[in-house]
Amino acid sequence: MYTLLRNDAGNQSEILRHTLVIADKYLQNAHDGSPGVFVSDLPLDDVPLDGRGAINTLRLFETRYLNSIPYSTGPRYFGFVTGGSTPASLAADWLVSTFDQNTCCANDSIAPQIERLTIHYMKQLFGLDPLAYGAFVTGATMANFVGLAQARQWVGEQHGVDVAEDGLGSFPLKVLSGSAHSSIVKAMAMAGIGRRMLEPVPTLPGREAVDVSALEKVLRACKQPVIVVANSGTVNSGDFDDLEAIAALKDRHRFWLHVDAAFGGFAACSPQYAHLVKGLHHGDSVTVDAHKWMNVPYDTAMQFTRHPLLQLKIFRNSASYLTDPEKSHDFFHFTPESSRRWRALPVWFSLQAYGKRGHAEIVERNCRLARILARHIADSEEFELLNDVRLNIVCFTIRQKGLESADIAAFLAAVRDDGIVYFTPTHYEGKPAIRAAISNWQTEERDIDISVESLKRVFARQKKE
């Protein structure tokens, strides 16, 4: 055995203690550390010939790189839709790496059984059909891919084509959506559907929710089976499509309904917001992303389907050393990956530690804080509120004539460098804009107050310049 590897094997406890020191140092600073940083490209040096051992590598990392890690797990990171990691989920994720289980085979370990149990819990949480199939994947993009791959298979079978066996063939394939997330478009490319096959459908006035009457008009004109992508929580305004009304259209039109509920699905936790996801169970396939609003570590998302046999046709993995896909419920027959990290454990820990009520409290507090931020923005002279805040997303812009995207980018870079809060840019109804997604379990009202102070301070500084 290589000498350094042998030394580390005998020094494992000390390595873990040193790792804990670094992790604890980072976590202790998470509340007040800068949520955003700019990091220049690293020089690409040569691969080390001789190692330095784990302890010295930890020290090197701590000295050279630790200060360049943003505190994106902290309470004032409002970019994208990013939660932190609750204490229970962090503990679980450490154990996931320690146990290093491959959750591919149903009965070879407790790991896949806990995944099945956790999926069962999540179906209860989201009000999905108990008979629906679900599994963990890396993120919303992959969950959307799994859903659209099934939709592609379904459309093919309406035309007598088995896409999984024979390819796409020559049948028409179209995707309809009011406000499709970019991951839907990416998944369409990955699935061979093609980005250009997305046909936008008009949305309701001043909203991102699809106009169901306009959708029916498009469906009537299609004459062929199509895919409809509905949204439960759009990224710019947290808007929701009327899933019940969309599902009712199936009585008159043939389409696959995929519901992108990446973060908005967690509205189901709260009695106050559960009505927004009413009808989620109608989705032929559903995406939910736990590393967003559930506040578990990356990469942890879920896909659900009412058509597991279609999913099996696409993702089955046949080899002499593997189980029979027709007789097994091994996860590698149903998901893109054959080797799979034990992503379910942090979710199981979170549900056991905090329950449905604990996660409902996070949802409701984040939504209340979003409304508080919106009031600050609406009452300010510097900024303009752009959206009705229905959930946890606040979309706003700078009051400036001739505002361009470059102006937003420069302003947000200055806000980032102020070290208090982090936002990401967007466009809303054609205007360059800023969006805040309040998704972290630690965020409190004081974080909103000092974030607004930072916004105004940076605005005043740039105005002087």
- Residue 168: predicted pLDDT: 85
* C-alpha dist (Å) from residue 41 to 68, 72, 228: 12, 19, 41
Q: 251, 244 in Cβ contact below 8 A?
A: no
Rounded to whole angstroms, how far apart are CA atoms 334 and 405?
42
- Residue 379: predicted pLDDT: 97
Question: What residue ranges do the domains of the chain occupy?
Answer: 3-71, 90-350
CA dihedral 212→217→220→221, nearest 10 degrees, is: -140
Residue 62 banded pLDDT, cuts 50, 70, 90: very high
- Residue 353: predicted pLDDT: 97
Fold exhibited by the domain 90-350: Aspartate Aminotransferase; domain 2 (3.40.640)
Q: 350, 121 in Cβ contact below 8 A?
A: no
**Of the ranges 46-55, 93-102, 103-112, 332-341, which one carries the lowest mean pLDDT score?**
103-112
Q: 78, 369 in Cβ contact below 8 A?
A: no
> Is residue 246 classed as helix, strand or coil in its secondary structure?
helix
Question: Beta 424-428 vs 393-398: how paired, if at all?
Answer: unpaired
- Residue 152: predicted pLDDT: 96
DSSP, residue by residue, 367-390: HHHHHHHHHHHHH-SSEEE-S--S
Residue 170 has pLDDT above 80, yes or no: no
List Cβ neighbours of 3 (8 Å cut-off, separation of 6 or more). none
* Residue 400: closest CA among 370, 433, 449: 433
- Residue 222: predicted pLDDT: 93
DSSP, residue by residue, 97-124: HHH---TTSTTSSHHHHHHHHHHHHHHH
DSSP, residue by residue, 416-427: HHHTS-B-EEEE
Q: 265, 230 in Cβ contact below 8 A?
A: no
- Residue 320: predicted pLDDT: 67
* Residue 151: closest CA among 116, 115, 184, 196: 184
Residue 465 has pLDDT above 80, yes or no: no
Q: How many CB atoms neighbour CB 168 within 10 A?
A: 15
CA angle 317, 337, 160 (to 5 degrees): 55
* Residue 355: closest CA among 294, 413, 286, 314: 294
Size (the chain), residues:
465
The residue-averaged pLDDT of 356-376 equals 98
Q: What is the mean pLDDT of the chain?
A: 95
pLDDT digits 0-9 by tens, 93-133: 999 999 999 988 878 899 999 999 999 999 999 999 999 99
The residue-averaged pLDDT of 223-228 equals 94
pLDDT digits 0-9 by tens, 260-315: 999 999 999 999 999 999 999 999 999 999 999 999 999 999 999 999 999 999 99
- Residue 376: predicted pLDDT: 98
In the chain the first and final C-alpha atoms are separated, in Å, by 62
Place of tokens 């499709």: 180
Dihedral sign from CA coordinates of 184, 189, 192, 198 = positive
Residue 327 has pLDDT above 90, yes or no: no
* Cβ burial 444-458 (10 Å sphere, 16+ → b, else e): eeebbeebbebbeeb
Residue 322 banded pLDDT, cuts 50, 70, 90: confident
Give the rounded percent of residues in the chain with a pLDDT score beyond 90. Answer: 91
